[in-house]
Amino acid sequence: MEEKELTGKNSETNEKNNRIKKADIILIAAALMIGIIGLIIYSVTRTKGLSVNLYQDGKIVKTFSLDKDAEFDYESDLGKNTIVIKDGKASCIWADCPDKLCVKMSDIENDGETIICLPHKLVIEVTDSDS
């Protein structure tokens, strides 16, 4: 008889511990609000890029303006990439690297955004300077 009573009390205690408390809801809501505010601040403060720098082994090898549509093949001893500038956005549309992650990356247009091809040691970076 005592075992049933103890089991009954334990199950009531477990039910109380498993319920979402008011403080949990407040914590979740606060975390969501902070995330949303951060996303808004990030999207408002982004600046459009003016040019694209192409880096090979950390050195600038070519600079493109985002104002002019262009297509450029860059070839080095590590491989070949085709970079396209169109409608103020840059993308890598073709590469002979094995993983092709650079081709799968989305177009870049804002200052600081990059496309990276690790096998070719190539970085395509948007900058807000017109150099």
The answer to whether residue 4 scores a pLDDT higher than 60 is no
The b/e string for 18-52 (b: 16+ C-beta within 10 A; e otherwise) is: eeeeeeeeeeeeeeeeeeeeeeeeeeeeeeebbbb
* Alpha helix segments (H runs only) across the chain: 2-18, 22-45, 101-104
Q: Are residues 35 and 85 in the same domain?
A: no
Predicted confidence at residue 43, as pLDDT, reads 85
Average pLDDT over residues 63-82: 95
Residues 7 and 59 in one domain: no
In this prediction, residue 20 carries a pLDDT of: 76
What average pLDDT does this structure show over 77-98?
96
User: 63 and 89: one domain?
Assistant: yes
**Same domain, yes or no: 34 and 56:** no
Mean pLDDT of the chain: 89
Residue 6 pLDDT exceeds 70: no
Total number of domains in the chain: 2
Q: Return the SS3 of 34.
A: helix
Question: pLDDT at position 9, please?
Answer: 57
Mean pLDDT of 1-15: 55
Please indicate whether residue 92 or residue 12 has the higher confidence score (pLDDT).
92
Residue 82: the pLDDT is: 97
Q: Which domain holds residue 119?
A: 51-127
User: Which residue, chain included where needed, has tokens 């799968």?
Assistant: 104
What's the pLDDT at 10? 60
Residues 71 and 36 occupy one common structural domain: no
The pLDDT of residue 7 is: 55
86: exposed, middle or buried (Cβ count in 10 Å: 0-12, 13-18, 19+): middle
Residues 63 and 118 in one domain: yes
Average pLDDT (63-75) is 94
